[in-house]
A and B are shown apart, each in its own frame.
Chain A
Amino acid sequence: MSARAITGYGAYLPRHRLAHAEIADALGAGGGRGTRTVASFDEDSTTMAVEAARAATGDGRPDAIHLATTAPAYLDKTNAAAVHAALDLGHAGFAADVVGSARSAVAALRSGLADGGLVVLSDLRNGRPGSTDERDGGDGAVALRFGDPDDAIAVVLARASATAEFLDRWRAPGDDHSGQWEERFGAERYAPLVESVVAEALAAAGIEQADHVVISSPHGRAAAAARKRYRGRIEGADPAIGYVGAADLGLRLAAVLDRAGADETILVVSAADGADAFVLRTTERLAATRPERGVVAQLEHGRALRYAAFLTWRGRLEREPPRRPEPDRPAGPPSARSEAWKFAFVGSRCTACGFVHVPPMRVCKSCRAVDEMESLSLADRRGTVATFTVDRLAFSPAPPLITVVVDFDGGGRYTVEMADAAPDEVAIGTRVEMTFRRLYTVDGVHNYFWKARPLAEATGTTEG
């Protein structure tokens, strides 16, 4: 029914896990089994969107980026532009945010279906300490690439939507948690909406039951009821990622794409301020177009986080600041001049002698040739820790700060902070890859740049 089809995808789950039992230990109540994913102190919806977009499979430069989130890093400034810059796309194409509610994800998907491009769904979920939202929420991002149906890994067979105005979940701008009406009310409201769109979409697709079913809703009870009612022909466990807001639908779809066979149908249902249903059919291209790291694999690759650290990172525990001056906010003109370097980690390579410069230079450090440089992106280069230090003086929300000198495969050296690692995970020779992060925020200006992190393949499941 649509001009565009899904041609690739990728998911990103941050590495930290908060065990529900950790919350119970601290607060003396709640708890239960399970964990939630937690974005690191240096991650936000934009950085996770970049990581998901970098992981997305499929070919070609997207000519549009649609970023959906309920937790935008900026307002009055397009966050998708930073994602666009981080992907080293130059200045070509379109990028915009679809911000506000979980249904923003559906809006972004509809844009992707209509126009093609990269749909990136990224979110962090917050709740007051001890709340269900805090415990059952999660952080993560997913990117879905839309393009030519000839390249499809999944085509959209049908879709249906319904809209209803009722007070179930709300959040005033600036608030750090949302309110929810009595749960039974929303459950009662959502059930018929879901039923109508599922029936309409299945009928339009000409099937009675899908092979896989993906259901997402900010209303936990409504989602559970729908999952019980609409089961896929092929059973598969839903990944235990918690509810990830605007990224939830896409992450659950990614988990199904990670395991679905060719020519299988997927019913995708969102219940948020109405209901939306899509029916997809996978293609033979799916098997060869899976990202390197699946959703379940990333879930297993976690580091345990203490509740106090979680509260600190979320700004709910105000800790003593360092007795050192605040860093300066990044300035507009220099950041714009170094757009490719700062956002896409593009260095330069001397065409006269081959020396790789990180950051880019005009005069070669090795042969002193002037203006004989070509751009060289190092964002996807892996590297090796040449030397490192554990800095106990530097302020970090996750002390101690680890500084590594990275020698990149194929040339180039740079000194960066190591993300998502404890001192015992770093040694001379440790293999690393680059990750897009938010170094700090001053005067409301986020300083986005790159850090190193231990190469996923090189580390097992660790307790941090």
Chain B
Amino acid sequence: MASNGIKDRVAIVGMGCTPFGEHWGKSADDLLVDATNECFASTPGITVDDVDAFWLGTMSSGQSGMVLSKPLSLDYKPVTRVENFCATGSEAFRNACYAVASGAYDTVMAVGVEKLKDSGYSGLVRSNVAGDGTAPEMTVTAPAAFSLLDPAYCRKYDVDPQDMRDAMTHVAWKNHHNGALNHRAQFRKEVPKEKIEASPLVAGRLGVFDCSGVSDGAACALIVRAEDAHKYTDRPLYVKALAFAAGPANGPMDPAYDYTSFEEVVRTAQDAYRQAGVTDPRTEISVAEVHDCFTPTELVLMEDMGFSERGEAWRDALDGAFDLDGRIAVNADGGLKSFGHPVGASGLRMLLECWLQLRGEAGERQVKDPRLGLTHNLGGRPGSCVSFVSIVGNELG
């Protein structure tokens, strides 16, 4: 089977996260110092010297572990730099957890950072492997690739295009509404639905407000053995599940793929539920931070993760099922949409919202009595992507 899991063997005992946004005045080094400082300051029992090893996630803000060891002047510690597209931050977290679970280290830190706004370009800047110039990724933009979900979904489930538009608009509206309540979010403003629907088109029916924010930021988490967790905090988060899948990229080559699902997400969600012992995600998951890179993505994810029946996510979204006061609060912190998406940091930013919610520290966004939080990252495109799902909880067992 997919994985043995490490349920309840490691715990998160501290987190840090910079505000996300256009940090013209801060370098990636500054963001790393800010995020880790916040984390250590709020975790008095652990200093930087107590950390045995680090996992650093960044897609394009540097290479090697020295991206972290140099600005933090680390004392010759092991730092592993990881990259896995937009799931990079989650990948740093996943490997850091395994390092503790293996017994190799007692205390580790997962850090993610991305400095996107120094390039002078809008959107992501890829460093491509020398190639023959034929890969569609060379010319097909990310919003174009994800915009394929909308007409395919409408056709498959016979959804009126205006209903789908309304559902996409609701996703953007909800995430902006949530982000407005979050002092770390890039866009802290509610946006009227009329404005969302009338925003300038980017690709297909996706307008500017259907796309996530391009931003700079860093986030981090301190991970220890579960049995040590209470030394550092009275409210640790226990890691219940970590699932990852790199898809075979069949979709763009297989006429059977219909652009209404991410098989990678289906597989990772199932794996994570199994590891965590979740049998009914709709009632057991309290908060879900999912990869809302574009509004139709969030709708499809609701179905791939079992939060909605197939063909029903658009209706559930419109019914408010994923609002802050809905049956599962999805992207309670504003999501990629309004919190922003500094690639390497996003996965850990998602974890931060679970940290705050499950500890009862989410302020105006606080969900009532949450027990399990889920984070989900995907990187790539419909039909060819990587997917990550984690489940964390505030109780053992």
A residues adjacent to B (C-beta < 8 A): 323-325, 327-331, 333-335, 337-338, 341-342, 355, 357-359, 361, 365-366, 386-394, 401, 403, 405, 407, 411-417, 428, 439, 447, 449
Contacting residues, chain A, for B130 (C-beta < 8 A): 328, 331, 333-334
B148 touches A447 (CB 8 A): no
CB contact under 8 A between A393 and B139, given known A328-B130, A413-B254: no
Answer whether residue B246 sits at the interface, using C-beta atoms and an 8 A cutoff. no
Contacting residues, chain A, for B250 (C-beta < 8 A): 365
Segment among B4-12, B118-126, B281-289, B319-327 that sits at the interface with chain A: B118-126
**Residue among B123, B139, B201 facing the most chain A CB atoms (10 A cut-off):** B139
Q: How far is the CB of B397 from chain A (nearest CB, A)?
A: 40
Q: With A and B bound together, what is the CA distance between A337 and B155 in angstroms?
A: 40
Q: How far is the CB of A389 from chain B (nearest CB, A)?
A: 4
Answer whether residue B252 sits at the interface, using C-beta atoms and an 8 A cutoff. yes
Q: How far is the CB of B380 from chain A (nearest CB, A)?
A: 13
A393 touches B202 (CB 8 A): yes
Besides the known contacts A330-B131, A391-B140, A428-B151, 16 further A-B residue pairs in the complex with CB atoms under 8 A apart: A325-B119, A327-B138, A331-B132, A331-B133, A388-B148, A389-B204, A390-B201, A391-B147, A393-B123, A393-B203, A405-B148, A407-B255, A411-B255, A439-B138, A439-B139, A447-B133
B144 touches A387 (CB 8 A): no
Contact among A324, A333, A387, A428 with B122 in the assembled complex (CB-CB below 8 Å) = A324
Contacting residues, chain A, for B233 (C-beta < 8 A): none
A357 touches B155 (CB 8 A): no
Contacting residues, chain B, for A359 (C-beta < 8 A): 134
Of the A-B pairs whose beta carbons lie under 8 Å apart in the complex, a sample of 19, sorted by A's number, is: A325-B121, A328-B133, A328-B138, A331-B130, A341-B132, A366-B254, A389-B148, A389-B151, A390-B201, A391-B140, A392-B201, A393-B202, A412-B253, A413-B255, A414-B136, A414-B253, A428-B151, A439-B133, A439-B138
A334 touches B253 (CB 8 A): no
A403 touches B133 (CB 8 A): no
Contacting residues, chain A, for B119 (C-beta < 8 A): 325
Contacting residues, chain A, for B121 (C-beta < 8 A): 323-325
Q: How far is the CB of A11 from chain B (nearest CB, A)?
A: 28
Contact among B132, B136, B253 with A416 in the assembled complex (CB-CB below 8 Å) = B136
Bitwise, B100-137 to A at CB < 8 A (1) or not (0) is 00000000000000000001111101001011111010
CB contact under 8 A between A394 and B139, given known A334-B130, A357-B253, A389-B148: yes
The 3 closest A-B pairs by CB, nearest first: A330-B133, A331-B130, A391-B144
B residues adjacent to A (C-beta < 8 A): 119-123, 125, 128, 130-134, 136, 138-141, 143-145, 147-148, 151-152, 155, 200-204, 248, 250, 252-255, 257, 259
Q: With A and B bound together, what is the CA distance between A358 and B250 in angstroms?
A: 11
Q: How far is the CB of B118 from chain A (nearest CB, A)?
A: 13
Contacting residues, chain B, for A335 (C-beta < 8 A): 132-133
Contacting residues, chain B, for A387 (C-beta < 8 A): 148, 151-152, 259
Q: With A and B bound together, what is the CA distance between A334 and B131 in angstroms?
A: 5
Contacting residues, chain A, for B132 (C-beta < 8 A): 330-331, 334-335, 337-338, 341-342
Contact among A390, A394, A413, A447 with B253 in the assembled complex (CB-CB below 8 Å) = A413
Q: With A and B bound together, what is the CA distance between A411 and B151 in angstroms?
A: 23
Contact among A361, A392, A413 with B203 in the assembled complex (CB-CB below 8 Å) = A392
- Using CB atoms, name the residue of chain B closest to A447: B133
A428 touches B133 (CB 8 A): no
**Residue among A327, A391, A401 facing the most chain B CB atoms (10 A cut-off):** A391
Q: With A and B bound together, what is the CA distance between A414 and B201 in angstroms?
A: 25
Contact among A341, A365, A394, A411 with B248 in the assembled complex (CB-CB below 8 Å) = A365
- Using CB atoms, name the residue of chain B closest to A327: B138
B152 touches A393 (CB 8 A): no
- Using CB atoms, name the residue of chain B closest to A445: B133
**Residue among A361, A386, A393, A439 facing the most chain B CB atoms (10 A cut-off):** A393
B128 touches A328 (CB 8 A): yes
Contacting residues, chain B, for A412 (C-beta < 8 A): 253, 255
A342 touches B148 (CB 8 A): no
Q: With A and B bound together, what is the CA distance between A323 and B250 in angstroms?
A: 31
Q: With A and B bound together, what is the CA distance between A415 and B250 in angstroms?
A: 12
Q: With A and B bound together, what is the CA distance between A184 and B79 in angstroms?
A: 80
Q: With A and B bound together, what is the CA distance between A45 and B149 in angstroms?
A: 38
Contacting residues, chain A, for B254 (C-beta < 8 A): 355, 365-366, 413
Contact among A391, A415, A439 with B252 in the assembled complex (CB-CB below 8 Å) = A415
Contacting residues, chain A, for B201 (C-beta < 8 A): 390, 392
Contacting residues, chain A, for B138 (C-beta < 8 A): 327-328, 439
Q: How far is the CB of B96 from chain A (nearest CB, A)?
A: 32
Contacting residues, chain A, for B257 (C-beta < 8 A): 413
Q: With A and B bound together, what is the CA distance between A428 and B152 in angstroms?
A: 9
Contacting residues, chain B, for A358 (C-beta < 8 A): 253
A390 touches B204 (CB 8 A): yes
Q: With A and B bound together, what is the CA distance between A355 and B250 in angstroms?
A: 11
B253 touches A365 (CB 8 A): yes
- Using CB atoms, name the residue of chain B closest to A341: B134
Q: How far is the CB of B62 from chain A (nearest CB, A)?
A: 18
**Residue among A365, A413, A447 facing the most chain B CB atoms (10 A cut-off):** A413
Q: With A and B bound together, what is the CA distance between A333 and B144 in angstroms?
A: 30
B139 touches A327 (CB 8 A): yes
- Using CB atoms, name the residue of chain A closest to B207: A392
